[in-house]
Amino acid sequence: MEGIIVVNKPETWTSFDVVAKIRNLSCVKKVGHSGTLDPMATGVLPVFLGRATKSIQYFVEGKKGYLAEMTLGIRTDSLDATGKVMTNDKCPTLRQSSGSVPSGVEEPMSIVANALRKYLGEIEQVPPMYSAVKVGGQRLYKLARKGITVERKPRKVTIHNIRLINFEASEHPKVTLEIMCSKGTYVRQLVSDIGDDLGCGAHLSKLMRTYAHPFHITQAVEMDRIITLAGTGKLHTVIIPVEGVLNGQGAG
């Protein structure tokens, strides 16, 4: 058994959890994935079985797409919903809902949309402390867990598109963003930076990966279905031959 299963990773599962489960279900020794997702994230996780693992290198460089929910006014140490709350501030300029904004005052959605513009194109992004980046031979997240913060060098990433698709007005507004970006982009850091620009901070409260070149969320299979198919001897029906995908790929 070999090929690719495009998994819709469940929330709380690590990418390794998904790989381990599919290895067990398929009885295939060599199983790997491209593009790690944090446990809180859901969405597209390509999993490679058998000889298809040799092709992972051809899939890691492509564009990534996300639906990200940003909660304004609350900062956490991990920059996402799994972390400890560090600051809790109100966003007075964003609390009014569209339609109740006094004449001459910019609407909250417009304020947020305008803040997004500076992040379009190639930008420099400082990796978050809670990340797997190595500094001085040590993983940043291991230092962060000890309460240690170190200087990190910014890295160039590209935001191909960032669009505001929903704004939920409240004391801590929730903003849903649609993002298309390059490999290596930390959405948590992007959200935190946008929150700082808005003057009240923010953290990433939800994340779904909708695209990992060349795979789209519409192709992704739920883990429950994968488990059921494996139990009835039909796991092969959701495995995509790697040759066909490679032959059909365009620029990432």
- Phi and psi (nearest 5°) for 31? -140, 135
CATH architecture of the domain 3-62+215-248 equals: 2-Layer Sandwich (3.30)
CATH fold group of domain 64-211: Pseudouridine synthase (3.30.2350)
Q: From the CB of residue 76, how many other CB atoms can be counted at a distance below 10 Å?
A: 22
Contacts of 109 (CB under 8 A, 6+ apart): 98, 164, 167
**pLDDT digits over 198-252, tens only?**
989 999 999 999 999 999 999 999 999 999 999 999 999 999 999 888 877 644 5
**pLDDT digits over 161-210, tens only?**
999 999 998 889 999 999 999 999 999 999 999 999 998 999 999 999 99
Q: Report strand pairing: 64-72 vs 174-181.
A: antiparallel
Contact 8, 241 (CB under 8 A): no
Dihedral over alpha carbons 111, 162, 10, 237 (to 10 degrees): 150
Residues of the chain with CATH 3.30.2350.10: 3-62+215-248, 64-211
| 38 in active site | yes
Q: Which of 38, 77, 80, 193 is catalytic?
A: 38
Which residue is listed with tokens 């789209």? 216
